[in-house]
Amino acid sequence: MKIRKDDTVLVIAGKDKGKKGSVRQSLPKESRVVVDGVNKVKRHMRPRGTVRQAGIIEREAPIHVSNVMLLCTKCNQPTRVSFRFLEDGSRVRVCRRCGEVID
Ligand SMILES: [Zn+2]
């Protein structure tokens, strides 16, 4: 996965297209991410069992990583990501626009 928790991403498809937000959760198995304030769905909760909060609550639903682009922390542009290996063998992400290491 090119997107990780706490990354800032730009939504490029869907009803929240153009929104920016930080990644709250990444779900690598499903190739999805939960982004703050993006893809909100209303859920009707009933006070049952452990759920204390009743009524209609809004929460973010996961969206597919192909619908977001990583915002580079260096050049502040939405970018695609490539990988590079450092001398110590660790893998880092690299911005394809400015060539800077993002991690
Ligand atoms: Zn960049």
Tens of pLDDT along the chain (103 residues) come to 899 999 999 999 999 999 999 999 999 999 999 999 999 999 888 887 776 778 898 999 999 999 999 999 999 999 999 999 999 999 999 999 999 999 8
Q: What is the distance between the alpha carbons of residues 34 and 53, in angstroms, rounded to a whole number?
A: 21
Residue 51's pLDDT is 65
CA of residue 92 to ligand 1 center, whole Å: 13
Every domain of the chain and the residues it spans: 1-71, 73-103
**H or E stretch at 97:** none
> Which CATH architecture group holds 1-71?
Roll (2.30)
Residue identified by tokens 């060539």 is: 99
Q: Say what the pTM is.
A: 0.84
CA of residue 25 to ligand 1 center, whole Å: 23
> Please, which residues bridge with residue 11 across strands?
68
CA of residue 70 to ligand 1 center, whole Å: 10
Q: What burial class does residue 37 get, using C-beta atoms within 10 Å of its C-beta: 0-12 exposed, 13-18 middle, 19+ buried?
A: middle
